Amino acid sequence: MPSPPATRPATRRSPFRRPTDLVERTRWLFGVCAVVSLVLTSSGAAAEAGTGRLTAIALSGAALIASWLHRYQARRGTVPLDLLDAVAVCVLALASPVPAVALGVTFSALWFRAVYGRTWEIWFYATAQCAGLVAALALWQVVPGHAAAAPAAPLLGALPIAPLLAVVARHLAAVLQEHQLAQAWDATLARLVTQLLGVTDVGQIRQRGWEAADQICRLTPGLVVVVVEDDGERLLVQGTVGPVQHLPATLDRAPVGTDLASAAASQRPGRITAPDELVASAGGVTSWVAIPLPDEPGRFLLLGGKVLHPEGVVLVQSLVNQVALAIRATSAHRELQVQARTDALTGLANRSTFSAALEAAALEAAAPAAADSPWVLFVDLDDFKLVNDRLGHAAGDELLRAVGARLAGAVREPGLCARLGGDEFAVLVHAADAAEAEALGRRLVEVASSPVRLGTGTARVGASVGAARVLPGTSWTTTLQQADLAMYAAKAAGKNRVVVADEGALASA
Protein backbone atom coordinates (compact mmCIF):
# COMPACT_ATOMS: atom_id res chain seq x y z
CA MET A 1 0.00 0.00 0.00
CA PRO A 2 1.33 3.50 -0.77
CA SER A 3 2.41 5.85 1.93
CA PRO A 4 -0.41 7.79 3.56
CA PRO A 5 -1.19 11.17 2.00
CA ALA A 6 0.32 14.24 3.54
CA THR A 7 -2.86 16.18 4.12
CA ARG A 8 -1.07 18.91 6.04
CA PRO A 9 2.52 20.17 6.14
CA ALA A 10 4.92 18.13 8.25
CA THR A 11 5.46 20.64 11.05
CA ARG A 12 6.81 19.76 14.47
CA ARG A 13 4.09 18.69 16.85
CA SER A 14 4.05 18.40 20.61
CA PRO A 15 3.89 14.74 21.71
CA PHE A 16 2.09 15.88 24.85
CA ARG A 17 -0.95 17.19 22.94
CA ARG A 18 -3.57 14.74 21.70
CA PRO A 19 -4.31 15.34 17.99
CA THR A 20 -7.85 15.74 16.71
CA ASP A 21 -7.41 13.93 13.39
CA LEU A 22 -8.39 10.23 13.58
CA VAL A 23 -5.22 8.82 12.01
CA GLU A 24 -2.88 11.13 13.90
CA ARG A 25 -4.76 10.45 17.12
CA THR A 26 -4.32 6.70 16.58
CA ARG A 27 -0.59 7.16 15.95
CA TRP A 28 -0.30 9.28 19.08
CA LEU A 29 -2.14 6.64 21.13
CA PHE A 30 0.08 3.81 19.84
CA GLY A 31 3.15 5.92 20.58
CA VAL A 32 1.99 6.59 24.14
CA CYS A 33 1.31 2.88 24.63
CA ALA A 34 4.81 2.04 23.39
CA VAL A 35 6.38 4.55 25.78
CA VAL A 36 4.30 3.31 28.75
CA SER A 37 5.22 -0.29 27.89
CA LEU A 38 8.89 0.68 27.74
CA VAL A 39 8.72 2.44 31.12
CA LEU A 40 6.97 -0.49 32.81
CA THR A 41 9.29 -3.07 31.25
CA SER A 42 12.41 -1.06 32.11
CA SER A 43 11.22 -0.59 35.70
CA GLY A 44 10.79 -4.33 36.12
CA ALA A 45 14.09 -5.12 34.43
CA ALA A 46 15.96 -2.60 36.60
CA ALA A 47 14.96 -4.33 39.84
CA GLU A 48 18.07 -5.73 41.50
CA ALA A 49 20.15 -4.73 38.45
CA GLY A 50 23.77 -3.66 38.76
CA THR A 51 25.28 -0.46 37.48
CA GLY A 52 26.17 -1.90 34.09
CA ARG A 53 22.71 -3.31 33.48
CA LEU A 54 21.06 -0.08 34.66
CA THR A 55 23.19 1.89 32.20
CA ALA A 56 22.28 -0.47 29.37
CA ILE A 57 18.56 -0.21 30.21
CA ALA A 58 18.75 3.58 30.34
CA LEU A 59 20.63 3.88 27.05
CA SER A 60 18.39 1.45 25.20
CA GLY A 61 15.27 3.18 26.55
CA ALA A 62 16.59 6.61 25.56
CA ALA A 63 17.40 5.36 22.05
CA LEU A 64 13.92 3.88 21.61
CA ILE A 65 12.15 7.02 22.83
CA ALA A 66 14.29 9.25 20.60
CA SER A 67 13.55 7.02 17.59
CA TRP A 68 9.80 6.98 18.28
CA LEU A 69 9.68 10.73 18.86
CA HIS A 70 11.41 11.37 15.54
CA ARG A 71 8.99 9.04 13.75
CA TYR A 72 5.97 10.76 15.30
CA GLN A 73 7.13 14.27 14.44
CA ALA A 74 8.35 13.40 10.94
CA ARG A 75 5.25 11.27 10.20
CA ARG A 76 7.39 8.57 8.61
CA GLY A 77 9.73 5.74 9.49
CA THR A 78 13.24 5.07 8.18
CA VAL A 79 15.28 1.89 7.86
CA PRO A 80 18.24 3.24 9.91
CA LEU A 81 15.95 4.05 12.85
CA ASP A 82 14.28 0.64 12.47
CA LEU A 83 17.72 -0.97 12.85
CA LEU A 84 18.41 1.28 15.85
CA ASP A 85 15.17 0.04 17.45
CA ALA A 86 16.24 -3.58 16.89
CA VAL A 87 19.65 -2.98 18.49
CA ALA A 88 18.08 -1.11 21.42
CA VAL A 89 15.60 -3.97 22.05
CA CYS A 90 18.49 -6.45 21.89
CA VAL A 91 20.41 -4.42 24.50
CA LEU A 92 17.28 -4.13 26.67
CA ALA A 93 16.74 -7.90 26.46
CA LEU A 94 20.36 -8.55 27.44
CA ALA A 95 20.03 -6.21 30.44
CA SER A 96 16.79 -7.83 31.61
CA PRO A 97 16.51 -10.81 33.96
CA VAL A 98 15.41 -12.92 30.97
CA PRO A 99 15.26 -11.93 27.26
CA ALA A 100 11.51 -12.57 27.10
CA VAL A 101 10.95 -9.47 29.25
CA ALA A 102 11.57 -7.30 26.16
CA LEU A 103 8.65 -8.87 24.28
CA GLY A 104 6.26 -6.29 25.71
CA VAL A 105 8.30 -3.47 24.24
CA THR A 106 8.64 -5.27 20.89
CA PHE A 107 4.92 -5.84 20.49
CA SER A 108 4.03 -2.24 21.45
CA ALA A 109 6.72 -0.85 19.15
CA LEU A 110 5.39 -3.01 16.32
CA TRP A 111 1.90 -1.54 16.68
CA PHE A 112 3.35 1.98 16.62
CA ARG A 113 5.54 1.27 13.58
CA ALA A 114 2.65 -0.28 11.61
CA VAL A 115 0.89 3.08 11.18
CA TYR A 116 3.83 4.56 9.26
CA GLY A 117 5.31 3.71 5.90
CA ARG A 118 4.72 0.93 3.40
CA THR A 119 3.95 -2.72 4.01
CA TRP A 120 7.44 -4.01 3.27
CA GLU A 121 8.84 -1.57 5.84
CA ILE A 122 6.55 -3.04 8.50
CA TRP A 123 7.69 -6.56 7.70
CA PHE A 124 11.30 -5.39 7.80
CA TYR A 125 10.70 -3.85 11.21
CA ALA A 126 9.06 -7.02 12.56
CA THR A 127 11.92 -9.16 11.21
CA ALA A 128 14.54 -6.83 12.69
CA GLN A 129 12.83 -6.92 16.10
CA CYS A 130 12.68 -10.73 16.10
CA ALA A 131 16.31 -10.87 14.99
CA GLY A 132 17.28 -8.56 17.83
CA LEU A 133 15.57 -10.79 20.42
CA VAL A 134 17.08 -13.95 18.95
CA ALA A 135 20.51 -12.25 18.99
CA ALA A 136 19.99 -11.42 22.67
CA LEU A 137 19.23 -15.08 23.32
CA ALA A 138 22.36 -16.14 21.45
CA LEU A 139 24.59 -13.56 23.19
CA TRP A 140 23.16 -14.15 26.64
CA GLN A 141 26.09 -16.05 28.10
CA VAL A 142 28.63 -13.81 26.37
CA VAL A 143 27.49 -10.80 28.35
CA PRO A 144 29.05 -10.54 31.83
CA GLY A 145 26.72 -11.26 34.72
CA HIS A 146 24.84 -14.13 33.09
CA ALA A 147 26.11 -17.38 34.53
CA ALA A 148 23.57 -19.76 33.00
CA ALA A 149 21.87 -19.93 29.61
CA ALA A 150 18.67 -17.96 29.26
CA PRO A 151 15.42 -19.90 29.02
CA ALA A 152 14.62 -19.96 25.30
CA ALA A 153 11.10 -21.38 25.40
CA PRO A 154 9.28 -18.22 26.65
CA LEU A 155 10.94 -16.08 23.98
CA LEU A 156 10.80 -18.48 21.03
CA GLY A 157 7.26 -19.48 21.88
CA ALA A 158 6.06 -15.88 21.80
CA LEU A 159 7.99 -14.69 18.72
CA PRO A 160 5.50 -16.16 16.19
CA ILE A 161 2.99 -13.68 17.57
CA ALA A 162 5.07 -10.85 16.06
CA PRO A 163 4.18 -11.55 12.40
CA LEU A 164 0.53 -12.02 13.39
CA LEU A 165 0.63 -8.64 15.10
CA ALA A 166 2.26 -7.17 11.99
CA VAL A 167 -0.59 -8.46 9.79
CA VAL A 168 -3.33 -7.18 12.11
CA ALA A 169 -1.62 -3.86 12.80
CA ARG A 170 -0.93 -3.28 9.12
CA HIS A 171 -4.53 -4.03 8.22
CA LEU A 172 -5.69 -1.52 10.81
CA ALA A 173 -3.20 1.03 9.49
CA ALA A 174 -4.41 0.44 5.94
CA VAL A 175 -8.02 1.01 6.98
CA LEU A 176 -7.05 4.21 8.79
CA GLN A 177 -5.02 5.46 5.85
CA GLU A 178 -7.83 4.71 3.40
CA HIS A 179 -10.20 6.56 5.72
CA GLN A 180 -7.79 9.48 5.85
CA LEU A 181 -7.45 9.47 2.06
CA ALA A 182 -11.24 9.34 1.62
CA GLN A 183 -11.62 12.27 4.01
CA ALA A 184 -9.00 14.25 2.09
CA TRP A 185 -10.74 13.41 -1.21
CA ASP A 186 -14.13 14.47 0.15
CA ALA A 187 -12.65 17.68 1.54
CA THR A 188 -11.12 18.48 -1.84
CA LEU A 189 -14.41 17.88 -3.64
CA ALA A 190 -16.37 19.89 -1.06
CA ARG A 191 -13.88 22.74 -1.35
CA LEU A 192 -14.28 22.69 -5.15
CA VAL A 193 -18.07 22.91 -4.83
CA THR A 194 -17.71 25.88 -2.49
CA GLN A 195 -15.22 27.60 -4.80
CA LEU A 196 -17.50 27.19 -7.81
CA LEU A 197 -20.40 28.95 -6.12
CA GLY A 198 -20.92 32.31 -7.77
CA VAL A 199 -18.22 31.77 -10.44
CA THR A 200 -19.63 32.68 -13.85
CA ASP A 201 -16.46 32.61 -15.94
CA VAL A 202 -15.94 29.29 -17.74
CA GLY A 203 -12.16 29.73 -17.73
CA GLN A 204 -12.13 30.18 -13.96
CA ILE A 205 -14.37 27.13 -13.52
CA ARG A 206 -11.97 24.97 -15.54
CA GLN A 207 -9.01 26.37 -13.61
CA ARG A 208 -10.60 25.47 -10.27
CA GLY A 209 -11.29 21.99 -11.61
CA TRP A 210 -7.65 21.55 -12.61
CA GLU A 211 -6.51 22.73 -9.19
CA ALA A 212 -8.78 20.16 -7.53
CA ALA A 213 -7.49 17.41 -9.85
CA ASP A 214 -3.92 18.39 -9.01
CA GLN A 215 -4.71 18.23 -5.29
CA ILE A 216 -6.23 14.75 -5.68
CA CYS A 217 -3.10 13.59 -7.52
CA ARG A 218 -0.94 14.98 -4.72
CA LEU A 219 -3.03 13.14 -2.14
CA THR A 220 -2.89 9.87 -4.09
CA PRO A 221 0.67 8.79 -4.92
CA GLY A 222 1.07 7.62 -8.51
CA LEU A 223 -2.27 8.99 -9.76
CA VAL A 224 -2.15 10.63 -13.20
CA VAL A 225 -4.79 12.73 -14.98
CA VAL A 226 -4.53 13.51 -18.70
CA VAL A 227 -7.16 15.35 -20.77
CA VAL A 228 -7.19 14.50 -24.48
CA GLU A 229 -9.31 15.34 -27.51
CA ASP A 230 -10.02 12.64 -30.07
CA ASP A 231 -10.03 14.12 -33.59
CA GLY A 232 -10.60 10.73 -35.22
CA GLU A 233 -6.97 10.24 -36.24
CA ARG A 234 -4.97 10.98 -33.11
CA LEU A 235 -5.32 12.06 -29.50
CA LEU A 236 -4.44 15.70 -28.80
CA VAL A 237 -3.08 16.18 -25.27
CA GLN A 238 -4.68 19.28 -23.71
CA GLY A 239 -3.46 19.09 -20.12
CA THR A 240 -1.92 16.85 -17.47
CA VAL A 241 -1.57 16.71 -13.70
CA GLY A 242 0.34 14.18 -11.66
CA PRO A 243 3.74 12.53 -12.23
CA VAL A 244 3.93 12.79 -16.04
CA GLN A 245 7.18 13.59 -17.82
CA HIS A 246 7.94 14.30 -21.49
CA LEU A 247 4.45 13.49 -22.74
CA PRO A 248 4.12 14.16 -26.50
CA ALA A 249 1.53 16.66 -27.71
CA THR A 250 -0.21 13.89 -29.68
CA LEU A 251 -0.78 10.22 -28.86
CA ASP A 252 -1.40 7.18 -31.02
CA ARG A 253 -5.13 6.59 -31.25
CA ALA A 254 -5.01 3.02 -32.53
CA PRO A 255 -4.68 1.17 -29.17
CA VAL A 256 -7.42 3.17 -27.48
CA GLY A 257 -9.84 4.25 -30.21
CA THR A 258 -12.37 1.44 -29.70
CA ASP A 259 -12.32 1.83 -25.92
CA LEU A 260 -12.91 5.58 -26.18
CA ALA A 261 -15.81 5.09 -28.55
CA SER A 262 -17.38 2.61 -26.13
CA ALA A 263 -16.94 5.01 -23.18
CA ALA A 264 -18.40 7.89 -25.21
CA ALA A 265 -21.41 5.79 -26.22
CA SER A 266 -22.20 4.77 -22.64
CA GLN A 267 -21.12 8.11 -21.10
CA ARG A 268 -19.52 6.11 -18.30
CA PRO A 269 -15.89 5.46 -17.30
CA GLY A 270 -14.34 2.56 -19.18
CA ARG A 271 -11.07 0.66 -19.02
CA ILE A 272 -8.68 1.43 -21.86
CA THR A 273 -5.40 0.16 -23.26
CA ALA A 274 -3.21 3.24 -23.02
CA PRO A 275 -0.80 4.17 -25.85
CA ASP A 276 2.81 3.17 -25.19
CA GLU A 277 4.04 6.78 -25.07
CA LEU A 278 1.50 7.60 -22.36
CA VAL A 279 2.52 4.59 -20.28
CA ALA A 280 6.19 5.51 -20.61
CA SER A 281 5.61 9.17 -19.70
CA ALA A 282 3.60 8.15 -16.61
CA GLY A 283 6.40 6.00 -15.22
CA GLY A 284 5.09 2.64 -16.41
CA VAL A 285 1.51 3.09 -15.20
CA THR A 286 -0.58 0.54 -17.11
CA SER A 287 -3.99 0.75 -15.42
CA TRP A 288 -6.08 3.42 -17.15
CA VAL A 289 -9.71 4.54 -17.30
CA ALA A 290 -11.31 6.97 -19.77
CA ILE A 291 -13.98 9.33 -18.42
CA PRO A 292 -16.00 11.17 -21.11
CA LEU A 293 -16.29 14.89 -20.41
CA PRO A 294 -20.00 15.86 -20.31
CA ASP A 295 -21.25 18.20 -23.05
CA GLU A 296 -17.84 18.04 -24.79
CA PRO A 297 -17.94 15.37 -27.52
CA GLY A 298 -14.54 13.90 -28.32
CA ARG A 299 -12.88 15.04 -25.09
CA PHE A 300 -11.88 12.57 -22.39
CA LEU A 301 -10.16 12.58 -19.04
CA LEU A 302 -7.70 9.67 -18.85
CA LEU A 303 -7.11 8.52 -15.27
CA GLY A 304 -4.11 6.31 -14.60
CA GLY A 305 -2.51 4.69 -11.58
CA LYS A 306 -0.63 1.61 -10.49
CA VAL A 307 -3.87 0.49 -8.86
CA LEU A 308 -7.14 2.23 -9.71
CA HIS A 309 -9.66 1.71 -6.95
CA PRO A 310 -13.35 2.15 -7.86
CA GLU A 311 -13.69 4.81 -5.16
CA GLY A 312 -10.97 6.89 -6.82
CA VAL A 313 -12.61 6.62 -10.24
CA VAL A 314 -15.96 7.66 -8.75
CA LEU A 315 -14.28 10.62 -7.04
CA VAL A 316 -12.69 11.91 -10.25
CA GLN A 317 -15.94 11.39 -12.14
CA SER A 318 -17.72 13.41 -9.45
CA LEU A 319 -15.16 16.17 -9.92
CA VAL A 320 -15.76 16.13 -13.68
CA ASN A 321 -19.52 16.25 -13.13
CA GLN A 322 -19.24 19.17 -10.70
CA VAL A 323 -17.21 21.19 -13.21
CA ALA A 324 -19.65 20.31 -16.00
CA LEU A 325 -22.60 21.28 -13.81
CA ALA A 326 -20.99 24.63 -12.99
CA ILE A 327 -20.33 25.28 -16.69
CA ARG A 328 -23.94 24.41 -17.53
CA ALA A 329 -25.19 26.74 -14.82
CA THR A 330 -22.94 29.50 -16.11
CA SER A 331 -24.12 28.95 -19.67
CA ALA A 332 -27.76 29.00 -18.54
CA HIS A 333 -27.12 32.16 -16.54
CA ARG A 334 -25.52 33.87 -19.52
CA GLU A 335 -28.33 32.72 -21.79
CA LEU A 336 -30.87 34.21 -19.42
CA GLN A 337 -28.90 37.42 -19.32
CA VAL A 338 -28.82 37.53 -23.11
CA GLN A 339 -32.54 36.80 -23.29
CA ALA A 340 -33.21 39.60 -20.84
CA ARG A 341 -31.22 42.07 -22.94
CA THR A 342 -32.10 41.07 -26.50
CA ASP A 343 -35.12 40.79 -28.72
CA ALA A 344 -36.03 37.15 -29.27
CA LEU A 345 -37.01 37.60 -32.93
CA THR A 346 -34.17 39.72 -34.33
CA GLY A 347 -31.39 39.27 -31.79
CA LEU A 348 -31.08 43.05 -31.45
CA ALA A 349 -31.18 44.88 -28.14
CA ASN A 350 -34.67 45.03 -26.67
CA ARG A 351 -36.62 47.97 -25.26
CA SER A 352 -35.27 47.67 -21.71
CA THR A 353 -31.67 47.52 -22.91
CA PHE A 354 -32.18 50.51 -25.18
CA SER A 355 -33.86 52.47 -22.38
CA ALA A 356 -30.93 51.84 -20.04
CA ALA A 357 -28.43 52.89 -22.74
CA LEU A 358 -30.47 56.03 -23.50
CA GLU A 359 -30.63 56.93 -19.81
CA ALA A 360 -26.85 56.57 -19.57
CA ALA A 361 -26.48 58.75 -22.69
CA ALA A 362 -28.65 61.44 -21.07
CA LEU A 363 -26.27 61.52 -18.10
CA GLU A 364 -23.34 61.63 -20.52
CA ALA A 365 -24.87 64.62 -22.32
CA ALA A 366 -25.20 66.48 -19.02
CA ALA A 367 -21.46 66.16 -18.32
CA PRO A 368 -19.56 69.50 -18.63
CA ALA A 369 -16.91 67.98 -20.90
CA ALA A 370 -19.45 66.71 -23.44
CA ALA A 371 -18.90 68.09 -26.97
CA ASP A 372 -21.32 66.65 -29.53
CA SER A 373 -24.50 65.19 -28.08
CA PRO A 374 -25.95 61.71 -28.44
CA TRP A 375 -28.87 61.28 -30.83
CA VAL A 376 -31.90 59.00 -30.91
CA LEU A 377 -33.36 57.86 -34.23
CA PHE A 378 -36.83 56.30 -34.10
CA VAL A 379 -37.47 53.99 -37.09
CA ASP A 380 -40.92 52.75 -38.07
CA LEU A 381 -41.41 50.53 -41.13
CA ASP A 382 -43.88 51.78 -43.70
CA ASP A 383 -46.57 49.46 -45.09
CA PHE A 384 -45.37 46.49 -43.01
CA LYS A 385 -48.98 45.42 -42.38
CA LEU A 386 -49.41 44.80 -46.12
CA VAL A 387 -46.61 42.22 -46.03
CA ASN A 388 -48.24 40.40 -43.13
CA ASP A 389 -51.61 40.42 -44.91
CA ARG A 390 -50.24 39.29 -48.28
CA LEU A 391 -47.49 36.80 -47.30
CA GLY A 392 -48.41 35.84 -43.74
CA HIS A 393 -46.99 36.46 -40.30
CA ALA A 394 -44.10 34.03 -40.78
CA ALA A 395 -42.93 36.06 -43.76
CA GLY A 396 -43.42 39.23 -41.70
CA ASP A 397 -41.13 37.84 -38.98
CA GLU A 398 -38.57 36.91 -41.62
CA LEU A 399 -38.73 40.44 -42.98
CA LEU A 400 -38.23 41.96 -39.52
CA ARG A 401 -35.14 39.81 -38.99
CA ALA A 402 -33.69 40.86 -42.35
CA VAL A 403 -34.41 44.57 -41.89
CA GLY A 404 -33.14 44.48 -38.30
CA ALA A 405 -29.83 43.01 -39.48
CA ARG A 406 -29.54 45.72 -42.14
CA LEU A 407 -30.23 48.51 -39.64
CA ALA A 408 -27.70 47.11 -37.19
CA GLY A 409 -25.14 46.89 -40.00
CA ALA A 410 -25.58 50.58 -40.75
CA VAL A 411 -24.77 51.63 -37.16
CA ARG A 412 -21.11 51.90 -36.20
CA GLU A 413 -19.71 51.15 -32.74
CA PRO A 414 -20.42 52.23 -30.06
CA GLY A 415 -23.88 52.94 -31.42
CA LEU A 416 -26.80 50.71 -30.50
CA CYS A 417 -29.64 49.37 -32.62
CA ALA A 418 -32.73 47.95 -30.89
CA ARG A 419 -36.17 46.63 -31.74
CA LEU A 420 -38.72 48.27 -29.49
CA GLY A 421 -41.59 46.05 -30.59
CA GLY A 422 -43.71 45.32 -33.66
CA ASP A 423 -42.16 47.09 -36.64
CA GLU A 424 -40.55 49.83 -34.51
CA PHE A 425 -36.77 50.13 -34.19
CA ALA A 426 -34.53 52.68 -32.48
CA VAL A 427 -30.90 53.69 -32.90
CA LEU A 428 -28.68 55.49 -30.40
CA VAL A 429 -25.52 57.20 -31.65
CA HIS A 430 -22.92 58.98 -29.53
CA ALA A 431 -21.14 62.29 -30.15
CA ALA A 432 -22.81 63.31 -33.40
CA ASP A 433 -24.01 66.59 -34.80
CA ALA A 434 -27.32 67.28 -36.58
CA ALA A 435 -25.89 66.69 -40.06
CA GLU A 436 -24.38 63.35 -39.08
CA ALA A 437 -27.58 62.23 -37.38
CA GLU A 438 -29.66 63.16 -40.41
CA ALA A 439 -27.22 61.40 -42.75
CA LEU A 440 -27.48 58.25 -40.66
CA GLY A 441 -31.27 58.53 -40.79
CA ARG A 442 -31.20 58.65 -44.60
CA ARG A 443 -28.93 55.62 -44.59
CA LEU A 444 -31.40 53.75 -42.41
CA VAL A 445 -34.23 54.63 -44.77
CA GLU A 446 -32.16 53.39 -47.69
CA VAL A 447 -31.28 49.98 -46.24
CA ALA A 448 -34.78 49.40 -44.88
CA SER A 449 -36.38 50.26 -48.23
CA SER A 450 -34.36 47.80 -50.29
CA PRO A 451 -36.29 44.70 -51.44
CA VAL A 452 -36.02 41.64 -49.20
CA ARG A 453 -36.09 38.14 -50.67
CA LEU A 454 -38.19 35.88 -48.45
CA GLY A 455 -39.02 32.21 -48.57
CA THR A 456 -42.50 32.97 -49.93
CA GLY A 457 -41.53 35.78 -52.29
CA THR A 458 -40.00 39.23 -52.39
CA ALA A 459 -41.20 42.01 -50.12
CA ARG A 460 -40.46 45.70 -49.91
CA VAL A 461 -41.26 48.18 -47.18
CA GLY A 462 -40.25 51.74 -46.46
CA ALA A 463 -39.05 53.47 -43.28
CA SER A 464 -39.93 56.74 -41.58
CA VAL A 465 -37.25 58.05 -39.22
CA GLY A 466 -37.53 60.68 -36.49
CA ALA A 467 -34.33 62.05 -34.97
CA ALA A 468 -33.94 63.86 -31.64
CA ARG A 469 -30.87 65.20 -29.88
CA VAL A 470 -30.28 64.12 -26.26
CA LEU A 471 -30.11 67.53 -24.61
CA PRO A 472 -28.62 68.22 -21.17
CA GLY A 473 -31.27 68.30 -18.48
CA THR A 474 -33.82 66.47 -20.62
CA SER A 475 -35.03 63.06 -19.49
CA TRP A 476 -34.45 60.09 -21.75
CA THR A 477 -38.20 59.40 -21.90
CA THR A 478 -38.82 62.90 -23.25
CA THR A 479 -36.09 62.47 -25.86
CA LEU A 480 -37.56 59.15 -27.03
CA GLN A 481 -41.03 60.70 -27.17
CA GLN A 482 -39.79 63.60 -29.31
CA ALA A 483 -38.05 61.18 -31.69
CA ASP A 484 -41.33 59.26 -31.91
CA LEU A 485 -43.25 62.46 -32.73
CA ALA A 486 -40.68 63.36 -35.38
CA MET A 487 -41.15 59.90 -36.90
CA TYR A 488 -44.91 60.50 -37.17
CA ALA A 489 -44.14 63.84 -38.82
CA ALA A 490 -42.06 61.94 -41.38
CA LYS A 491 -44.99 59.62 -42.09
CA ALA A 492 -47.34 62.58 -42.44
CA ALA A 493 -44.93 64.20 -44.87
CA GLY A 494 -45.08 61.21 -47.24
CA LYS A 495 -43.06 58.42 -45.56
CA ASN A 496 -39.57 57.15 -46.50
CA ARG A 497 -37.85 60.21 -45.09
CA VAL A 498 -36.12 61.68 -42.01
CA VAL A 499 -37.49 64.44 -39.79
CA VAL A 500 -35.36 66.03 -37.08
CA ALA A 501 -37.22 67.07 -33.92
CA ASP A 502 -37.40 70.77 -33.15
CA GLU A 503 -34.87 71.39 -30.39
CA GLY A 504 -36.82 74.38 -29.14
CA ALA A 505 -39.88 72.23 -28.57
CA LEU A 506 -37.71 69.57 -27.02
CA ALA A 507 -36.02 72.05 -24.67
CA SER A 508 -39.36 73.49 -23.57
CA ALA A 509 -40.69 69.97 -23.01
Q: How confident is the model over 311-326, as pLDDT tens digits?
A: 888 989 999 999 999 9
Mean pLDDT of the 200-218 span = 91
pLDDT for position 9: 42
Strands 250-252 and 270-272: unpaired
Distance from C-alpha of 214 to C-alpha of 333, rounded to nearest angstrom: 28
Would you tell me how many other CB atoms lie within 10 Å of the CB of residue 355? 17
Residue 8 confidence class, pLDDT cut points 50, 70, 90: very low
Would you kindly state where each structural domain of the chain is located, as residue ranges? 22-180, 198-338, 351-508
Mean pLDDT of the 178-200 span = 86
Distance from C-alpha of 291 to C-alpha of 299, rounded to nearest angstrom: 9
Average pLDDT, the chain: 88
Alpha helices in 342-453 (DSSP H): 351-365, 384-391, 393-410, 434-449
In 149-199, where do the E strands start and end? none
pLDDT for position 3: 37
Q: How confident is the model over 231-241, as pLDDT tens digits?
A: 989 999 999 99
> 198-338 has which fold?
Beta-Lactamase (3.30.450)
Q: Are 94 and 56 in contact (CB under 8 A)?
A: yes
Contacts of 302 (CB under 8 A, 6+ apart): 224, 225, 226, 227, 228, 272, 274, 278, 288, 289, 290, 291
- Quote the distance between the C-alpha of residue 188 and its chain's center: 9
Q: Which one has a higher pLDDT value, 395 or 505?
A: 395
Strands 498-500 and 462-469: parallel
Largest distance between two CA atoms of the chain: 134
pLDDT for position 4: 38
Q: What is the reported pTM?
A: 0.63
Mean pLDDT of the 23-52 span = 88
Q: How confident is the model over 369-397, as pLDDT tens digits?
A: 455 789 999 999 999 999 988 889 999 99
Nearest to 506 by CA among 379, 373, 382, 356: 373
Given CATH 3.40.30.10, say whether it is the number of domain 351-508: no
Nearest to 285 by CA among 344, 211, 222: 222
DSSP run (H or E) holding 304: strand 299-305
| pLDDT over 70, % of the chain | 95
Distance from C-alpha of 265 to C-alpha of 277, rounded to nearest angstrom: 26
Q: Which one has a higher pLDDT value, 233 or 21?
A: 233
Q: How confident is the model over 153-183, as pLDDT tens digits?
A: 888 888 889 889 888 988 888 888 788 788 8
Residue 481 DSSP label: H
pLDDT for position 504: 58
Residue 286 confidence class, pLDDT cut points 50, 70, 90: confident
Torsion sign over Cα 463, 469, 470, 473: negative
